[in-house]
Each structure stands twice: as structure tokens, then as C-alpha cells.
Structure 1
Amino acid sequence: MNCTRVSNEVLPHKVTKYIVYGDKLLALFKRRPVCTQSLVVSQTTIGTLLRIKQHCAYCEYSSDWSSQPMVNNIPAGNLQLCAAVLFTGSSFCQISKFLDAFKIQGISEPCFHKHQAKLLIPTINWQWKIEQDDIIENAIADGAVTLGGDMRADSPGHSAKYGSYTMMDLKANRVIDIQLVQSNEVGNSQWMEKEESSRGKGCCGPVFGLGKKMDALSKGKGLQDVGLWRKSVVNHLYRSATTSTSGEEVVAKWSSVANRIQNIHSHENTLFPSCLHEPLVGDHTRHWLKPSTAACEKFTAILLSPRLLKDMHKISPEYHTSGIECFHSLILKFSAKNVVFSFKGMLCRLQLAAMHYNENAGRSQASTAAGDLRYSIVSPEFKHGEFTVRALKSNPTTGYIDKLMELLFHHVVENPQPYLDFCGQMAVPEKLCAQFIRPDKEEAVSRHRSRFFKNT
């Protein structure tokens, strides 16, 4: 029971487990086959570990049986349950409710947080560093590196606690770096993106938000026709970028949209003198905006704003940040926005999401038994009722969880100090909920607290 290593060759996290009912298990220990006398049986539990002691009053027989091995004086089942919860991005609260409903012996919440802080988070930090170094090395070996970055806030609204900035190798479609900032590090949540991008030594790409600006404008009185151009204008943006060979050509093609919404298809710019489509007649006509009207003037001001044109000049015709948006959606499976995590807890879940994304970024398209490619029809909320046909990907893999388990049981649990030292190098900001009480208010606050706890 006190050994630090498992005696058999198979490590405990690889052994298959079974659900055994307690009364069926205890029945095996109540009678000794030799003297056929009833035994005195006692049992104790340590989390998921069950220990059974037997004693025979007739032949002085006694034994001490344990349901699982120990690893460095830690029940292997307790540690693996904690690891399985965190490594899969699950919630301990939900897993605990499930085990309680099934009447399966589990672990306490303090036990989970203890193992998470001392063993699991250092394991994730170490494994992510190894994979990050490999990704950077491979990216550099392929020549010039094309990076894209974007920020994600951890909660809806403008008062986010955390902001994470993701840097991605757009050529390889791999997450290459993640920076996490707590709002009180930079004054408030609005300054988080600038701080995160500087930590990641990257730069923010142009953020357009054209659809949102058009939606907001179309809600004004007499401006409803602007909303009818939303899909066409957004498509024109991507078309301008993907069909151009220079920044000047992108700007020329994009600027033509200001004429097109007024049914003008010849333009003054020699790089794009006229629209390439056939004459629009019949069903192909649009809800043209009349020149000099409020709708036309306000819409044109958005489309030709100097800041937008400056960004258009630098837009990439080949690479885009859709992969980052997909990664941000994946993060929700590892850290829901309505759940509060510690700084290290939040960072390790972001790293888990990155490892999952990088492992599955190159998945092939799924196919039927007959070999036909599979597709699905989806209607995202931002499409406002419109649908999109998407290729179905093959099922994702979770090989990174096996690597984390191997690292945890082979190395970290045996000698955790180097991994704790590595994790300790991380700068952790002060807790956001910390409060400062003025000295002249301390006595009043103390009286109020004592009165509250007395009443409750």
C-alpha cells in the first residue's frame, strides 16, 4: 500500500475499470474457503479507493485488500479521475453530480483542486510548451511564417474578467501561441487586446465588422434598404481580396461598391474601370439606393471610411482568420463563459483547447460506406435564418490526452518539483475580487459583517 511504483508492468491509468456493486464485492470477502467460517470484514474508503480488512477468529487469518494501487502515496483512481475531468475540459461539478446520481464513490472538491494545482496544471503547462516548441520549429523550417491573431473575451458584455489572444500559423492552421490577460492588469477590459497582442509579439489584423455596422445602420428610420445589401457587400469584400494581386487593386475593387449600390457600374479608377458581371435585368436587379439620400450617404460613409480603406490596402488575398474563429468556438467546450476559473485554471484550459485543435486541424472529410463525401446543412445565428452547406469532417481524436496521462503517471507524480518550478515561473495577477477598504470605513464594515453572520 505504501509503495511509490506500481508492481505490474501496466500503469494504472491504462488498466480497464469496471463498475462493481458494493454488496456483490463484499460477498467475496465474508467467508474464507479454508475453514469455511464467517470472517469479520471492515471497509474504509479514500475517495475512489476501497480498502477491505478480513479477520478470522478461529484460525487467526487476516488480510488487507485494496481496490487500486498507489502512486507516490496517492490512490491511482483518485488521481486519474481528477486528470480525466480536467484533461477532457469537463466540469468537476457536473461529473460529481453524475457520480452521485449513479451512487459511485467519488472524490471531494478539495481533493480535486489539490491535485489540479500540484500535479495537473504543471503537467498541462509542460506538455503545451513541448508542443509549442515543435510547432514553432516546424513553422520556421517551412520558410516565411504567416501569422494571424485575434482576441476573445471570457464573458458576454464589456466587463470581461479575462481576455485571451490567439496567435495562429495560418499556413499550417496551427495555434502557435496563447496569451491570457486579466482585466485588472491593464486598468480595464477594453485595454486587454493591445496588451495581449504585444505579449504575443504579434500585431492585430484589420477588424472590419461590416455586417454589424450595416445591421446597426439599417435599424434607423428610413434606412431599412441598407440591410438588403448586407450579404452582397460582405461577399464583395472577400471577392476583392481573393481576386487581387496588390493592395491598390483591392482598394480599387472595394471602392467600386459605393457606385454599385447606386446602380452605377463604371468607375473612375483605371485598376478597376467597370464591374465584371453581366448587365442586371429582371430578377437580377437590386434595391438600388438613390444618390444624395440619407441611406446612400450614411452607407457610403461606412464603405469608404479612411480607416477601412487603409486596412483594405493591407488585406491578405490568400490567408484569413477563419481558423482562429473556429478555435475560439472550440474554447467553449473547455471553458464555458458562464463559469469562473482561476488564472492558471483558465490558462491551462486554453492550452488544452489549443492541443485539441492542433491535433485535429488536418482532419479529412467524412464519407459514407459507399465512399461518397458527406455534407451538412447548418443555419448559424449570425446568418439570420440563412443556411450554409458545410463539409462534414471525420471524428476528432484525443491523442493529446494519452500524452498528458503518460507524462503525469510516468514523470510528474514521481517527481513533481521540476514541473511545479516551471509552472511557478508564470506571472499570476492579483485576484480581481480583492477589495480595498478605507481605514475610516473598516469599523463600520466589521460591524456590518458581524451583524450579517449573526443573523444568518
Structure 2
Amino acid sequence: MAAIDWELDLAGDRRCDSPGHCALYGAYPLMDQSCCLIVSSHLVKSMETTSSNAMELEGFKRCQSDLISHGLSVRSITTDRHLSVGKYIREEWADVCHYYDAWHIVKGEDCRLSTEPGNKEPAGNWIKAIINHLWYSINHTDVSDEHEARWRQLLPHMRDDHRTKLDAWLSQELSSKRLINDLRKAGVQNTAELESFHKQLNHFAPNMVGFSYHGINSRLRLAGMYHNENATRSFKFDRLGNQQYVMARSKNNKLTQTAKRKKVNPTYASVALLNGSSGNTRGNYCEVPGFITRHSPEELRIPAQL
């Protein structure tokens, strides 16, 4: 692997092999947000920890050991709102700035407001406006103190300006201690690119198919190699030098189409490394850009029965 001589701004999030709280395997990748490369990833089995929920912290610890063993300097890390990971970084990795992903904060608040039994008239009509204001409070300033200040402007506005009679649960939820603390740690960086890698991982290891430990571990490594090889693809132009676009639909609104710049076709040099067409393949598995977790050819070879 080429030497990394800059401070890393990482993003980390767990990807389970099945939805819910009974996952058997949990993959934890770390991505450098400046170049969108996977620098480390580990697979954890639930039987190695006390529960499925504890796999995220164990995977984070193993990735941290990779970073320390390679002497890499980390400036910041962005994760979801996992309490154990937040506590571990606060106590064991205090010199690293820890931020929460804004999308996870907004999504968690939206789920809580939508599932509470008191979200009926008139407070229920405010849920969309509350979520929009939460996005505005986080994304329109880089200062964490201003996140809280902007957010606290919401309750007086709802009480006084519109004379809305708020339920006790709504007032308590909007000013909860955990939400305020998470707003203070919300950063401008996010885990969007890492979520895109999780989507790519579904092509290598679909959730609807059961794999053995070695089978899903091999697919996790191959997905990381493929992603790092094609993470910095350039955009595609026609013969006249005009930018090419492709139409895409949003998950929330299937009727709306947006034009996105089209990228060049992906390459598969990592497959050539596995097939041995590059000559001495024994030392080439660690030469994929950014990937620091070392693996032998036997670990990356997927048996047919898996």
C-alpha cells in the first residue's frame, strides 16, 4: 500500500448480514472521506461478543488497531449514534474529534416522532417542519454551539407564534438531553459515501443469501478492493467533449427524475491480481490503494460451495 502521509478524516458504520437485532455477522469498514477509500474493514461474528449490538464496537476496535499498527494519523471520525462507540472514542481515543452523522440524527428523530402515540392533531402536523428545521440547524453552520442555539428556537416559535398546545411528550422529546448532546457533536461530514459502499457490498454478499464466515469475509475483502479501485473514477464525455448524463430516480419519489453526471466504466484490476495475471501475486494483495488490512490469497479465494 502506498504511504499515507496526511491526517485521515474517517467515516465508520456497521453493516449487518441481516436486518433486525439478531444478525450473525457484522462488517465494520472505515473510509477516508478525503479520497473515499476503504482503509480498513473487519468482520465480527455475534458469538465473539455478548450480543449482536456489541459487534459494532468490536469491529471498530479492530479497525483502530489496524490504524495504530500502521502508524496512521487520524484527525476526525464520523459515525452513527451508537452509544458504545461514542463512549469508547471519548475515553480511549480522546485526541480524535468525534462527530455524529447528521442523517442518522435526523432519521432517529423522525422515527421517534412518527411512532409516538401522541403525534396527532395539532402536534402531528409539525413533524415534517420539525425534521426540516433539524436539517437546517445542522447544515447551515459549522459551529457546534450554533447547532443547539438554532434548534432551541423551535419550541418558542411553536408555543408563542402559533399558539400551539404541545403535548408533554413532544416538548420533552424536542429538548431531550441525548438529542441536545448529539446536536453538539453533529459535523458537516457524513457517512453517505460509506453507505454507498454498503450498497455495493450487497452485490457481493446479498442479505437474502446465507454465507459461512469465510464466505462473507472473502466477499467483504473483494468488495473493498473493487471499491478502492473505482472510487476515483472520472466523469464521461462524448466525442465532442460534452459531459454525459444519466437519469436517476429518487427512492422517496419515484416520479421525479434527476440528471446525474455519468462516470466511466469500472475496471477490474483486482480480479487480475487474484487470477495471477500480474506475475508475482503473493505481494500484490496489499497494493490495492488505501486497503491496509493484509490478507493472504487463501483468505481472498472464495470456494464454489460458499
Aligned to 1:120: none
Q: Could you list the runs of 5+ residues in structure 1 that have no partner in the other structure?
A: 1-132, 265-287, 413-420, 427-456
Counterpart mapping for 1:372-383 below 5 A: 372-380=243-251, 383=252
Q: Which moved more, 1:176-185 or 1:358-367?
A: 358-367
Structure 1's 347 and 227: CA in aligned 2 closer, same or farther, altered over 3 A?
farther
Structure 2 Cα separation of the partners of residues 178 and 262 of structure 1? 48
Residue 334 (1) aligns with residue 231 (2): no
Q: What is the letter of the counterpart of residue 299 of structure 1?
A: L
Deviations 1:368-403 (A, max 9, x none): 5651441423131xx266746352431322222223
> Which runs of structure 2 are paired with 1:56-455 in the superposition (5 Å)?
133-134=1-2, 137-138=3-4, 141-142=5-6, 144-201=7-64, 203=85, 205-206=99-100, 208-215=104-111, 217-218=113-114, 220=117, 223=120, 229=126, 232-261=129-158, 264=161, 291-294=164-167, 297-317=168-188, 319-367=189-237, 371-380=242-251, 383=252, 387=256, 389=258, 391-394=260-263, 395-406=265-276, 410-411=280-281, 423=296
Question: RMSD of the TM alignment (CA)?
Answer: 3.3
| Alpha carbons of structure 1 residues 314 and 222: separation in structure 2 relative to 1, 3 Å | closer
| 1:393 counterpart letter in structure 2 | K
CA displacement at 1:292 relative to structure 2 = 3.2
Distance 1:384 1:298 in 2: 31
Please give the TM-score of this superposition, normalised by the length of structure 2.
0.69
**Superposition pairs for residues 48-59 of structure 1, below 5 Å?**
none
- Per-residue CA deviation, residues 252-298 of structure 1 (Å, 9 max, x unaligned), is 1233233445574xxxxxxxxxxxxxxxxxxxxxxx6x53332xx43
- Over 3 Å counting, the alpha-carbon distance change for 1:211 and 1:320 in structure 2 is closer
Structure 1 CA distance for aligned equivalents of residues 16 and 114 of structure 2: 27
Give the C-alpha shift of residue 170 in structure 1.
1.2
How far residue 321 of structure 1 moved from its aligned partner, in angstroms, is 0.9
Please say which of residues 367-376 and 301-310 is displaced more in the overlay.
367-376
Residues 306, 170 of structure 1: CA spacing in aligned structure 2 closer, same or farther, 3 A cutoff?
A: same
Please state how far the C-alpha of 1:422 moved relative to its aligned partner: 6.2
Larger radius of gyration: 1
Q: In the alignment, residue 46 of structure 2 is paired with which amino acid? A: S
Query: Which amino acid is 2:206 matched to?
Result: A
Query: Does the CA contact (< 8 Å) of 1:165 and 1:196 recur in 2?
Result: yes
Q: Please say if residues 356 and 398 of structure 1, whose CA atoms lie closer than 8 Å, have aligned partners that are also in contact.
A: yes
State the TM-score, normalizing by the size of structure 1: 0.48
Partner of 1:27: none
Deviation, 1:213, is: 4.1
**What is the Cα deviation at residue 241 of structure 1?**
3.1
Gaps of 5+ in 2: 65-76, 78-84, 87-98, 283-293, 300-306
The CA distance in 1 between the partners of 2:105 and 2:238, in whole Å, is 38
Q: Separation in 2 of the partners of 1:224 and 1:200?
A: 47
1:331–1:306 distance in 2 versus 1, CA, 3 Å? same
Equivalent residue letter for 2:14: M
After TM superposition, give the deviation of residue 362 of structure 1 in Å.
1.9
**Cross-structure match for 1:446:** none
* CA distance 1:390–1:160, shift in 2 (3 Å): farther
Kept in 2, the 8 Å contact 1:217–1:226? The answer is no
Report the CA distance shift for 1:151/1:166 in structure 2 as closer, same or farther (over 3 A).
same
* Seq. identity, %: 27
